[in-house]
Structure 1
Amino acid sequence: MTIAEWCVFLSLMLYLLSIAPVKWLRVGRFDNSKPRDPTFYEDPIAARALGAHQNGIESFPFFAVAVLLAEFRACPQNLINELAVLFVIVRIAYVFTYIGNRPTLRSILWSIGFAINIAIFFLPALRKFLPL
């Protein structure tokens, strides 16, 4: 597997891990028979963790498709790997800023992550201009 493909897996794990600690730490208050109970998410940290989790679910498909498209179209693997690692780093920072209630920085990080996804997605179109 390539580094970029491992980053796809890490991106998946990141959105799962963004909500799991909140559920574990609030064990007595989380009812697994009602995982979407809105009263559990009234706590501000739990609500922000849920938001980070949901945003991770939303961003994952585009990232996964962009990486696979770039790899299938034989773009420079080093560039795909570097952009994928950068995306995961930005997403980790995004989760921390989301849970830490830093909305401006969170929006900046989201924009950077989206731009990285766009770059990966359009690598096949730019392949002839890239060093192989």
Structure 2
Amino acid sequence: MTVTHFTLAYWCVLVAALLPLLCAVIAKWGGLGKSRKDGGFDNHNPRAWLARQTDWRARANAAQANSFEALPFFIGAVLIAHQLGAYQTRLDLLAFVYVVLRVVYILMYVANLASLRSLVWVLALAINVTILFAGYR
């Protein structure tokens, strides 16, 4: 009987899947609890409300979209690396670094540090490609 476990890389997939939700919370921060008339979050038409936001709220919403866009490649890379028998410790470390970079990316996006944000995005993409080929022999 083969015993399997939920690897750190798989936990990183879960965390990466929750990052867009974190961005949504950031984008709506302070708008919850205020009335719609006072510019508060409009749960009746949330997409239109988010589309009208500016500054850090708009950037948090854009970070949410980018987090959703990056997610399928990360999930696929982790699954393929597992399937190809990548060294688990290496895969776990790479997945962890990817998630850390994505969190830093979100922070840089919200803080309007565009050049640093782009550098972090490229680093995260490179880590994701490395994950994809981690089991290649």
- The reply to whether TM is greater than 0.5 is yes
Using the aligned pairs only, state the percent identity. 37
1:42–1:22 CA distance, 2 compared to 1 (3 A):
closer
Q: Measure the CA separation in 1 of the matches of 2:27 and 2:49.
A: 14
User: What is aligned with 2:3?
Assistant: none
Aligned to 1:17: 22
Summarize the alignment of residues 98-113 of structure 1 with structure 2, pairs less than 5 Å apart. 98-113=109-124
- Structure 2: gaps (5+ residues): 1-5, 35-39
1:84 corresponds, among 87, 95, 99, to 95
Q: What is the aligned partner in structure 1 of residue 31 from structure 2?
A: 26
Off by >6 Å, runs of 4+ in structure 1:
none
Question: Could you say what the CA RMSD is over the residues aligned between the two structures, in angstroms?
Answer: 1.3
Change (3 A) 1:118 1:30: same
Cα 1:73–1:39 change in 2 (3 A) is closer
Counterparts of 2:111 and 2:52, CA distance in 1: 15
Query: What is the rounded CA distance, in whole Å, between the counterparts of 1:16 and 1:41 in structure 2?
Result: 19
Report the Cα distance in structure 1 between the residues aligned to 2:71 and 2:50, rounded to whole angstroms. 27
Aligned pairs for 1:1-132 (under 5 A) are 1-27=6-32, 28=34, 29-38=40-49, 41-125=52-136, 127=137
* Unpaired segments ≥5 residues, structure 1: 128-132
- CA shift at 1:24, angstroms? 3.8
SS at 2:11 equivalent: helix
Change (3 A) 1:39 1:119: closer
Aligned residues: 126
Aligned-pair CA distance for 1:108: 0.1
Q: Aligned partners of 1:44, 1:94: CA distance in 2, in Å?
A: 16
- Normalising to structure 1: TM-score of the pair? 0.90
